[in-house]
Amino acid sequence: MTLTTPALLFPAISLLLLAYTNRFLVLAQLIRELNAREGDTIRPLVVAQITNLRKRIKLIRTMQVYGVASFLMCTFSMFALFIKFDTTGVILFGTSLACLALSLLTSLYEIHISCDAIEIELKNIEKKPLSNKAD
């Protein structure tokens, strides 16, 4: 394995971390808006949303941890290969790939939870009375 093999992962991991950060920022903004909108009382719908949001925030943190671990292991792998510790470099690269896979699997689960949040909203919309207005 050459030094360039782990280097190929750098752009992919960087983009993943950026995407994870964007997801986190969107959720943080949503939580702030929800807090401002609800005021002193909380509707039952919001209780379900809070549970979902809390779970998603934890998952995004886990995704980021595995992503950063993957990035670090990839860096260490490159360093090991640079100083001619080929076996160590290969092991570290494998560890980096495993961390990346865990990050992606966690991301897949977070997407599933995100769909549950949308389902909560859709159920709330369905409970509303139909309008008699014509389109």
The whole-number average pLDDT for the span 2-6 is 88
For residues 109 and 64, what is the distance between their CA atoms, to the nearest angstrom?
14
Q: What's the helix, strand, coil split of the chain in %, to 5?
A: 85, 0, 15
For residue 96, CA distances in Å to 46, 86, 88, 112, 124 come to 38, 15, 12, 25, 42
Could you read off the pLDDT of 63-114 as tens digits, one per residue?
999 999 999 999 999 999 999 999 999 999 999 999 999 999 999 999 999 9
Confidence at residue 134, expressed as pLDDT on a 0 to 100 scale: 60
Query: pTM for the complete prediction?
Result: 0.84
Q: Are 95 and 52 in contact (CB under 8 A)?
A: no
Binned at pLDDT 50, 70 and 90, residue 34 comes out as confident
Confidence at residue 29, expressed as pLDDT on a 0 to 100 scale: 94
For residues 3 and 81, what is the distance between their CA atoms, to the nearest angstrom?
6
Helical segments of 39-85, H only: 44-82
pLDDT at 42 over 90: no
Confidence at residue 63, expressed as pLDDT on a 0 to 100 scale: 97
Quote the DSSP letter at residue 83: T
For residues 133 and 48, what is the distance between their CA atoms, to the nearest angstrom?
31
| Percent of residues, the chain, with pLDDT higher than 70 | 99
* Higher-confidence position of 79 and 46: 79
Lookup result for tokens 């909108």: 37
pLDDT at 135 over 70: no
> Which residues lie closer than 8 Å to 45 by C-beta, 6 or more apart?
120, 124
* Higher-confidence position of 128 and 56: 56
